[in-house]
Amino acid sequence: MGEVNERGYTRRQALNSVGPGWQEVIKMLMTAKPDETIVVQVKEKFGGLRFYTENAPDNYRRLVRVGESACDYLCENCGKLGETNRGGGWIKNRCPECRAQVEENKK
């Protein structure tokens, strides 16, 4: 992914930290990011988006929470309506089609 410096994640680093289905949310959050705000980490955890910042004003923190909440209902792989799936020790947000594809690939 590349090293994160004192200015935080770049747009590319943030986009590369999650699956393609959540990238529109990441683009929106990075576009709306105030100049003084530093994105310190972006990741998937327990099937949800985690977007950590420093020096973020209240209105941007609220926007981040909305983006994180939206990803609770989006397939991380394709962006369609999804739900949290547990299996194989992982918790992921997947739509029925992507979940079926993962199951088929296990065979």
Domain spans of the chain, in order of start: 11-106
- Asked if 39 and 33 count as a contact pair (C-beta separation under 8 A), the reply is yes
The average pLDDT across 22-35 equals: 97
3-state class percentages of the chain: helix first, strand second, coil last, to nearest 5: 40, 25, 35
Give residue 69's pLDDT: 97
Residues 48-103: tens digit of each pLDDT: 999 999 999 999 999 999 999 999 999 999 999 999 988 777 899 999 999 998 88
Record the pTM: 0.88
